[in-house]
Amino acid sequence: MIRAPDSTPDPLLSLYGERHRLCPIPNSELQLVLSLDRQIDLIELEQLCDAVGWSRRPLRKVRKALEHSLLCVGLWRHDTRLPKLVGFARCTGDGVVAATVWDVAVHPLYQGAGLGTQLMAFVLAELQGLGVDRVTLFADPHVVEFYAAQGWELEPLQRRCAFWYAP
């Protein structure tokens, strides 16, 4: 007897691409999916940034920033017709040695369920897969603990880092 190869289709594949992961969360009625492949809608991203209280940036700049990012990760509330963007993070970098994480956000309605932690773990796993072993980020002061609890080291004595902001 010839058996068909085990080819049970992954229903999430067509929506979220190869590089996706289902997030375990306490509320089992929802499916939350992290994806590197599903295209980020700029308006949805703006709504997410509004929801976490960030000031708006011109969409043409955001579009370019995303295009030039090393990776952009969306966190989606799964829906077969219209997945909703409920979290986001992106990285810039050279793709082999060093990267910087930016714009980490989880929509307030979905915070406190471990999704921010899973989002960061997903980002770091992807960077590690690329061979990147030096990762930085600039935490807002009120979020330092969120990163510290995940093993991020604080920049020692504030001696190593320099900022330049356009006047």
Ligand X SMILES: CC(C)(COP(=O)(O)OP(=O)(O)OC[C@H]1O[C@@H](n2cnc3c(N)ncnc32)[C@H](O)[C@@H]1OP(=O)(O)O)[C@@H](O)C(=O)NCCC(=O)NCCS
User: Catalytic residue positions?
Assistant: 147
Q: Give the residue nearest to ligand X (CB).
A: 116
Closest CB to ligand X among residues 92, 111: 111
CB of residue 23 vs ligand X: minimum separation in angstroms? Answer: 10
- Distances from the Cα of 50 to the Cα of 3, 56, 106, 122, angstroms: 52, 7, 11, 24
Continuous segment of H or E residues that includes residue 144: helix 144-148
Q: Beta-carbon neighbour count of residue 113 at 10 Å?
A: 17
- Distances from the Cα of 162 to the Cα of 47, 61, 90, 115, 159, angstroms: 31, 24, 21, 31, 8
CB of residue 8 vs ligand X: minimum separation in angstroms? Answer: 31
3-state DSSP assignment of residue 12 = coil
Residues found near ligand X in the complex (CB under 6 A):
52, 104-106, 111-117, 139-140, 142-143, 145-146, 149
CB of residue 148 vs ligand X: minimum separation in angstroms? Answer: 9
CB of residue 140 vs ligand X: minimum separation in angstroms? Answer: 4
Closest CB to ligand X among residues 80, 163: 163
CA–CA gap between residue 158 and residue 18 (Å, rounded): 40
3-state DSSP assignment of residue 107 = coil
CA–CA gap between residue 38 and residue 76 (Å, rounded): 9
109 phi and psi angles, rounded to 5 deg = -65, -20
Closest CB to ligand X among residues 92, 117: 117
Closest CB to ligand X among residues 11, 24: 24
